[in-house]
């Protein structure tokens, strides 16, 4: 396919509900967009109009001036409340142009994303390859709406920092795949990435580590370079606004009470000072589960309330993720202060203490009109009524939460952890975890069959998680995330049949078109034939798991 396609590739990803190309016996006419093509934006569609002018204008040198919606040679954007909020209808007719109608602003935007795909891979370029080229698409009608309202990607920027321009780029990549939630993992043992003005040491000390483990934590190799970085509050405001213009919600994660050594290194009073010398702790330089957890003291509670006050100012998301995973209890067992708190509150041991910790912040967030979401360990010891669960250890946590009346985001590590390896080949860079091929991800089903209809309604949706211990560059991140994110996006958006009945060969045919779009966007994805020489990481130890992942 040359840059100047006469017949653009038409394999849409994710697959729409319906697509009508008209009379099967007739070749559809082509709707052309040229220098005179106008853009009519009804009230409520202005963001999408700006996005179309910036993307199609850049790719094809199209001015897309304002014009009336009923004039010929027009791209018209409109709202129709009869459609679902995120649903849309795209009509392309050579007599008058293109109409994109959405049930709400989000629906219009997703329809515009479909229009961009229909115009061919050149529409994903940042400058015209030939200013005289007139893009076009076949006459057709596309009707579509998503299956799930939470279609997410978790980016871990704590283990390896992703600079702001990389985050903005991933928001564009998410939007191109109709994903609408960025779960932003901002804090962990290896780094604190968010400026908190009341506590400047969180980034002054907590955002930098002296060195980093290369590969899996069992690797003998180290990268001796200091690593770090953080986002200023203005950076976050920019990221959130950029996401909102693309109909993406940014859900921040501040991990408590485990995964907190970077915070303790910055403010030692947050740790269990009656058990260890917390002043000796540094930002952690390796991976795994860290024993140094927050102390269950009033000092810690007030500190994180102050942190969250600034978080709420920056992130309008109704959900705030507070982690709650992988919190070893050894220090609490040895801590007189922790044991005294357990006794004073008549808690059920250390699990009850963690539940008390999470419930405190659930009440705190609820009082401010927000909702707590956490990893499925927050179920242990009991969960507050309004809290939601990210089910990562398998399906079981999500099943239990849904049956108990809690909302759930399904993200089981055995299925949709994109840091896990994609092939059994020895050339696979830093192979971690279970084998999860493109087909495996395409056959992932977020709703467990044992749930009743009412319980299944508790599944808000699903997200893929990209943990960055072994992803130390944009190139490595791209390689692990793509092309599997395209398959995941179809699972999250499209109403697919049962996993075994899904037409994977048909999906791969559409992916042949989609790879050209990813190429135009500069995505360093894993090619179907295996890693290219510069994508390999020979000698960097991974930790692959053999066999099929357990269905737990």
Residues 6+ apart with CB under 8 A from 63: 35, 57
Looking up tokens 């129709």, which residue turns up?
80
Distance, CA of 337 to CA of 342 (rounded, Å):
9
The catalytically annotated residue of 93, 310, 325, 326 is: 326
- Catalytic-role residue among 259, 321, 406, 514: 259
User: CA-to-CA distance for 376 and 371, rounded, in angstroms?
Assistant: 15
- Find, among 141, 134, 255, the residue nearest to 194 by Cα: 255
Residue 524 a catalytic site member:
no
User: Catalytic: which of 91, 144, 188, 362?
Assistant: 188
310 is catalytic: no
Active site (annotated) includes residue 514: no
Angle between helices 474-481 and 164-176 (to 10 degrees): 20
Please give the Cα distance from 501 to 229 (Å, whole number): 45
Q: Is 453 exposed, middle or buried (0-12, 13-18, 19+ CB in 10 A)?
A: exposed
Q: 99: how many CB neighbours lie within 10 A of its CB?
A: 19
Host H or E run for residue 113: helix 105-118
The residues, ordered by sequence, that sit 6+ positions from 351 with a Cβ below 8 Å of its Cβ are: 329, 380, 381
* Cβ atoms within 10 Å, residue 370: 20
Angle at alpha carbon of residue 469, lines to 467 and 475, rounded to 5°: 80
Q: Active-site positions? A: 188, 259, 326
């Amino acid at each position: 396919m040359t840059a100047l396609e006469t017949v653009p590739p038409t394999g849409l990803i994710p697959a729409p509900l319906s697509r009508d190309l008209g009379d099967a016996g007739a070749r559809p006419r082509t709707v052309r967009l040229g220098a005179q093509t106008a853009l009519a934006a009804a009230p409520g569609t202005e963001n999408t109009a700006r996005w179309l002018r910036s993307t199609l204008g850049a790719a094809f040198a199209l001015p897309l001036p304002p014009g009336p919606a009923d004039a010929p040679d027009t791209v018209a954007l409109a709202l129709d409340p009869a459609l679902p909020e995120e649903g849309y209808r795209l009509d392309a007719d050579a007599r008058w142009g293109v109409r994109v109608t959405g049930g709400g602003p989000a629906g219009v935007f997703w329809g515009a994303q479909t229009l961009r795909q229909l115009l061919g891979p050149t529409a994903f370029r940042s400058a015209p390859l030939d200013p005289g080229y007139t893009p076009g698409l076949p006459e057709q009608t596309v009707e579509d709406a998503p299956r799930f309202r939470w279609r997410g990607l978790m980016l871990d920027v704590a283990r390896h920092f992703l600079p702001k321009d990389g985050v903005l780029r991933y928001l564009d990549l998410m939007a191109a795949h109709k994903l609408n939630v960025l779960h932003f993992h901002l804090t962990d043992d290896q780094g604190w990435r968010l400026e908190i003005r009341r506590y400047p040491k969180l980034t002054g000390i907590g955002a930098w580590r002296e060195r980093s483990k290369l590969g899996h934590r069992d690797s003998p190799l180290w990268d001796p370079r200091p690593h770090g970085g953080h986002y200023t509050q203005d950076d976050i405001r920019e990221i959130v606004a950029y996401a909102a213009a693309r109909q993406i919600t940014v859900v921040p994660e501040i991990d408590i009470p485990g995964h907190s050594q970077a915070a303790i290194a910055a403010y030692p009073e947050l740790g269990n000072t009656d058990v260890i010398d917390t002043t000796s702790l540094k930002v952690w330089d390796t991976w795994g589960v860290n024993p140094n957890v927050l102390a269950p003291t009033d000092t810690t509670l007030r500190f994180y309330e102050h942190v969250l006050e600034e978080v709420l100012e920056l992130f309008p998301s109704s959900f705030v993720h507070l982690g709650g995973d992988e919190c070893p209890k050894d220090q609490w067992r040895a801590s007189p202060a922790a044991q005294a708190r357990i006794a004073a509150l008549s808690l059920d041991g250390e699990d009850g203490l963690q539940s008390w910790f999470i419930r405190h912040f659930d009440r705190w967030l609820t009082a401010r009109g927000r909702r707590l979401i956490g990893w499925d360990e927050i179920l242990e010891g009991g969960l507050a009524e309004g809290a939601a669960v990210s089910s990562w250890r398998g399906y079981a946590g999500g099943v239990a939460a849904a049956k108990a009346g809690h909302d759930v985001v399904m993200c089981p590590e055995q299925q949709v952890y994109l840091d896990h390896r994609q092939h059994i080949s020895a050339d696979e860079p830093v192979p971690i975890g279970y084998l999860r091929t493109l087909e495996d991800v395409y056959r992932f089903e977020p709703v467990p069959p044992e749930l009743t209809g009412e319980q299944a309604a508790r599944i808000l949706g699903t997200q893929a998680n990209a943990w960055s211990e072994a992803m130390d560059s944009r190139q490595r991140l791209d390689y692990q995330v793509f092309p599997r994110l395209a398959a995941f996006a179809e699972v999250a958006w499209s109403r697919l049949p049962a996993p075994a009945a899904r037409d994977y060969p048909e999906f791969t045919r559409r992916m042949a078109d989609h790879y050209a779009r990813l190429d135009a966007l500069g995505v360093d994805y894993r090619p179907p034939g295996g890693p290219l020489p510069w994508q390999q990481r020979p000698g960097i130890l991974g930790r692959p798991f053999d066999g099929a992942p357990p269905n737990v």
